[in-house]
Structure 1
Amino acid sequence: MRFSSVLPLAFACSAVAVVIPSPKAAWPYGPLVTDGRWIRNTKNEVVTPVGVNWPGHGEAMIPEGLQYASINKVLKDIKSLNLNIIRLTFSIQMIDEIYSKGNDTTVKESFLKALGTTNGTAIYKKFLQKNPQFDDTTTRLQVFDAVAAEALKQEIYVHLDNHISRAEWCCGETDGNAWFGDTYFNVANWKRGLAYMADHGKAWPALVSLGLRNEPRNATNNPTISKTYNWETWYKNMIPAANGVNAANPGLLIYFSGLNYDTTLAPITTGANLGSGTVFRKSDFPYSNKLVLELHNYQTTATTCPSITNGLYNGGYNALNATDPKVKNVLPVVMTEWGHDMSNNEYKGVYQTCLDSYLGGLKAGWMFWEVGGSYYTRQGKQDFDETWALFNHDWTNWRQKASAESIKEMAKRTLAGTKKL
């Protein structure tokens, strides 16, 4: 049968009055807001997002792995690790195509285009076998709808992330998606796409936040665009985009990523001059209680914990410290990407143990990269194996049980006692 993204409506008959509780009285107790360095729900509890990335921005523009597992299974397994959020990535290309065609592309058509007739047909059949609620009329966005609907059932928050413009593996300085105005980074389309997804997400009660852009970086092969790679350009583009998201869906938290592949937000936290006197001031936003900072970290070669934590603090985690005289914008900070190879014992090394201690001590949120053990296609190779994933290749079990267990314990430590703060 065809999957419907329309939520069931409340009804009443002459014999029985049906009372539907207010959304604010039920999980996720939203909309969420920020309070200094914390995120809070309508019960005034601290909400600390700890979760995992679920890519959906690749060439097929469908959340990965659904030829191997059902949406229900993927989310159930995520929940079993004490994780409470998914960072669900999408490409602007998906929305561009909706505007161009006047409607969304079906899953079947998308698989055939991305994988070819033979492989696309085979993967599509497996997709239907694992997810029989779908059929030939199901569109890509309806799969996203289904993920969000199941996340609601399992009480898992959804964070939407605009990962890239042209649907493909991310990220590089020469991929045409690096910086505002780059070959495939049409700024007007990007803003339109963000607002579209924010508005569409109104039908997803589990959706609590949206990331404006993944890993802004220098377009090194595009000299004209590269000249504009600076904080002032960042500000002039990010602020209007955030305004558009807030106008489309005022309930969402809005995540700002920094430069250099989102590894630094230094001048944002300190309120420094971004160029020509431009300054990021939290107080300038009418929706200042909706702003969150995000950082990425992949320092897998670090040999000491202080070398990691010092960089993180100065790169943006100082925003959590209201007593630091250099900090002008106190905001929540979430590490929306970090990770390492999950097929060996790297979880025992300096990198993860340091992040475990640091983020757990700060009670600061994080999202591991990534959940799935394979991609429909990545960098020209179909059924690409992902060793940096919680699941094994066919999404049937954890790639390494001990590595997955370490994520579970890290989540437990980060979340311990946070609701009462």
Structure 2
Amino acid sequence: MERFFFVSVFLLLLLLLFVQTNISFAFPLSTDSRWIVDDGIKGRRVKLTCVNWPSHLETAVAEGLSKQPIDSIAEKIVLMGFNCVRLTWPLYLATDESFSGIMTVRQSLRKFGLFEAVSGFQANNPSILDLPLIKAFQEVVTCLGNHRLMVVLDNHISQPGWCCSDNDGNGFFGDRHLNPNLWIKGLMKLASMFANVSSNVVGMSLRNELRGPKQNIKDWYKYMRKGAEAVHSVNPDILVIVSGLNYDTDLSFLRDRPFEVSFRRKLVFEIHWYGFWSSWEGDNLNKICGRETENIMKMSGFLLEKGIPLFVSEFGIDQRGNNVNDNRFLSCFMALAADLDLDWALWTLAGSYYVREKTIGSDESFGVLDLNWSSIRNSIILQMISAIQSPFRGLMETQPKKIIFHPSSGLCIVRKSLFQLKLGSCNRSESFKLSSHRVLSLTEEQIFCLKAYEIGDPVKLRLFFSESYCSKWKFLSESKMQLSSFTKNGESVCLDVDSDSNNIVTKSCKCLEGNASCNPKSQWFKLVTSTRSRCKTKPFLRISPYSKTFLHKPLSV
């Protein structure tokens, strides 16, 4: 099975080798305006591209350790292109000594009748099986550090178990399982446990998905500020990551009242975004994506405009690939994640759980790994997500440019030949400029502009003698992602992708209004700001429009 895993990711790895090099960061991390940066002289941007590894369920043990050796799991995380793990933990792991300090992994598994899992531990991770639960948690952090993976500790819940519901007693301060003083005690214990020891622990999420009937803004400010100050007081190196209200979807109250703490350059806010929270099938998809994107910006995205870091600490989809609602959501998410160049954490690494809500060996359809934690569940989805694993932008060390991103594939528009375009790796993307006169031209070779011909034909680059030689382009629909122009016969067309060749073509614009069953995703394109260094390829034509050798007759293309 191990061999099958590595074979299944071989092609993906070829892509990731171009997308993500093995960069060493200077820890600890800090913030610089809206960016997370390292502690080096230049303060390079560090983009958190994490995967969630649950360790908060009933057993309070990191999932999957009965299926695969811990080093094998860590290697898989690295091979899949993630640089970080958001490691969840229940509050009682830090505050209940009789539970975490005495109970071993073996005892916890046996408590729930998980005898097969005990046998799995004996085969795959025998050195962890008889450790106390808190020591087993530390072993996971240490192993991730050995594989150069950053860790964000996430206080996911208080009483170990599946999260979440409004009335589970874990939702808000004052609930049965969320005593504010005990919560602060637990945060301080975990933060101090890894202070000056585990440099790969780069951040701590104070509390996952605050919710329920008791939630209110006044107590949110009161207790989240206390929690933030407490964590920073015992471990000033780590990022303090603060969640909002309503299942971590609402930070809108920060627009009018800032979150004031005594420390600087360590504060990050987090949000969650899932497709199953809304219907993506009951209306025009352009309209839904436009509406949901606008809502995200209103509820949390405005923080970036204020120069405050925002971390999408949970998003995810059904990895089986047959959930229409999730698939539609993912394309819209990819567009916004690329446009804003967000830090993020995918839910989830787990292919299965020891026990979830009394179901032993529960399969996790959102898991990037399969039931046995041995293979990628869906390499197509993972390849798509790999497009946003490397930063599009840094701290503007290089001149920013605009590239054209295709969110439903995770690819960008690249040069196929002198005059033809196709989809390819964003590291090879051409840079474009959309002028005030709506001419779309190449930035580096400004003598070329984009020209639409007939419906169904490839769109081509044309020599740019004057604007009359070029098509005029504008973004249509409520998604603002359909690039539209007119053919020489006056027919309205949009950029599209030929499914057989990946060539960029023009077709009749889809789904501009109405028709909930219509799917416009192949026509979604996003002009994304990028400072990525382009893979060095020789320009197809390097010539100045002012050169004496400039061609005075247009080529027939």
RMSD: 2.0
Q: SS of 1:411's equivalent?
A: coil
1:49, distance to aligned residue in structure 2 (A):
0.4
User: Is 1:35 the equivalent of 2:32?
Assistant: yes
2:328 corresponds in structure 1 to 350
1:237 corresponds in structure 2 to 223
2:128 corresponds, among 102, 112, 134, to 134
Deviations 1:149-194 (A, max 9, x none): 2222222110000000111100000111111111111221111111
1:404, distance to aligned residue in structure 2 (A):
2.4
Q: Distance in 2 between matches of 1:363 and 1:140?
A: 37
Q: Distance in 2 between matches of 1:110 and 1:257?
A: 30
1:259-278 → structure 2 map (5 Å cutoff): 259-268=245-254, 270=255, 272=256
User: Is 1:306 the equivalent of 2:306?
Assistant: no
Contact 2:337 2:388 in 1 (8 A): no
Aligned letter for 1:242? A
Q: SS of 1:259's equivalent?
A: coil
User: Is 1:177 the equivalent of 2:174?
Assistant: no
User: Is 1:371 the equivalent of 2:349?
Assistant: yes
- Structure 1 stretch 42-51 or stretch 298-307: which is displaced more? 298-307
1:256, distance to aligned residue in structure 2 (A):
0.7
1:392-411 → structure 2 map (5 Å cutoff): 392-411=370-389
Q: Distance in 2 between matches of 1:334 and 1:101?
A: 32
Contact 2:67 2:121 in 1 (8 A): yes
- Structure 1 stretch 146-155 or stretch 67-76: which is displaced more? 146-155
1:387 corresponds, among 365, 368, 371, to 365
Q: Distance in 2 between matches of 1:83 and 1:345?
A: 24
TM-score by length of 1: 0.82
1:88-167 → structure 2 map (5 Å cutoff): 88-98=87-97, 100=98, 103-113=101-111, 115-116=112-113, 119=114, 121-136=115-130, 138-167=131-160
Aligned letter for 1:189? L
Q: Closer, same or farther in 2 for the Cα pair 1:70/1:28, shift >3 Å?
A: farther
1:85 corresponds in structure 2 to 84
Structure 2, unaligned stretches of length 5 or more?
1-22, 398-557
1:321 corresponds in structure 2 to 305
User: Is 1:208 the equivalent of 2:207?
Assistant: no
1:364, distance to aligned residue in structure 2 (A):
1.2
Contact 2:157 2:163 in 1 (8 A): yes
Q: SS of 2:362's equivalent?
A: strand
TM-score by length of 2: 0.62
2:271 corresponds in structure 1 to 295
1:255, distance to aligned residue in structure 2 (A):
0.7
Q: Distance in 1 between matches of 2:78 and 2:328?
A: 26
Q: Closer, same or farther in 2 for the Cα pair 1:122/1:250, shift >3 Å?
A: same
- In the alignment of these two chains, the number of paired residues is 363
1:276 corresponds in structure 2 to none
1:285 corresponds, among 236, 261, 267, to 261
1:192 corresponds in structure 2 to 185
1:267, distance to aligned residue in structure 2 (A):
1.2
Percent identity of equivalent pairs: 30
Contact 1:54 1:370 in 2 (8 A): yes
Contact 1:97 1:104 in 2 (8 A): no
Aligned letter for 2:127? Q
Q: Distance in 2 between matches of 1:95 and 1:144?
A: 11
Aligned letter for 2:273? N
1:336 corresponds in structure 2 to 313
Q: Distance in 1 between matches of 2:148 and 2:101?
A: 30
Q: Distance in 2 between matches of 1:94 and 1:289?
A: 29
1:359 corresponds in structure 2 to 337
Aligned letter for 2:144? A
Q: Distance in 2 between matches of 1:293 and 1:417?
A: 19
Q: Distance in 2 between matches of 1:41 and 1:321?
A: 21
Q: SS of 1:159's equivalent?
A: strand
Q: Distance in 1 between matches of 2:76 and 2:385?
A: 12
Q: SS of 2:139's equivalent?
A: helix
Deviations 1:293-321 (A, max 9, x none): 00001134333321221111111111111
Q: Distance in 2 between matches of 1:234 and 1:364?
A: 25
Q: SS of 1:349's equivalent?
A: helix
1:81, distance to aligned residue in structure 2 (A):
2.1
Q: Distance in 2 between matches of 1:321 and 1:346?
A: 33
2:239 corresponds, among 253, 261, 282, to 253
Deviations 1:111-136 (A, max 9, x none): 112x22xx3x3312211311243353
Q: Distance in 1 between matches of 2:347 and 2:54?
A: 9
1:288, distance to aligned residue in structure 2 (A):
2.4
Task: Decide which structure has the larger Cα Rg and report it.
Answer: 2
Q: Distance in 2 between matches of 1:166 and 1:76?
A: 30
Q: Distance in 2 between matches of 1:173 and 1:135?
A: 34
Aligned letter for 1:193? G
Contact 1:338 1:367 in 2 (8 A): yes
Q: Distance in 1 between matches of 2:342 and 2:299?
A: 15
Q: Distance in 1 between matches of 2:58 and 2:24?
A: 33
Deviations 1:257-305 (A, max 9, x none): 011100010111x1x2xxxxxx434xx4221211000000113433332
Q: SS of 2:128's equivalent?
A: coil
Contact 1:333 1:364 in 2 (8 A): yes
Aligned letter for 2:361? D
Q: Distance in 2 between matches of 1:314 and 1:362?
A: 14
Contact 1:173 1:217 in 2 (8 A): yes
Q: Distance in 1 between matches of 2:347 and 2:100?
A: 34
Please state which structure has a larger fraction of its residues in helix: 1
Q: SS of 2:165's equivalent?
A: coil
Structure 1, unaligned stretches of length 5 or more?
1-25, 220-225, 273-278, 323-329
Q: SS of 1:148's equivalent?
A: helix
Aligned letter for 1:266? S
2:45 corresponds in structure 1 to 46
Hey, which bits of structure 1, 4+ residues long, moved more than 6 A?
A: none
1:64 corresponds in structure 2 to 63
Contact 2:54 2:63 in 1 (8 A): yes
Contact 2:63 2:352 in 1 (8 A): yes
1:101, distance to aligned residue in structure 2 (A):
6.7
Deviations 1:1-54 (A, max 9, x none): xxxxxxxxxxxxxxxxxxxxxxxxx95411111111011101210011011100
By relative contact order (CA 8 Å, sep 6+), the higher-ranking structure is 1
Contact 2:55 2:89 in 1 (8 A): yes
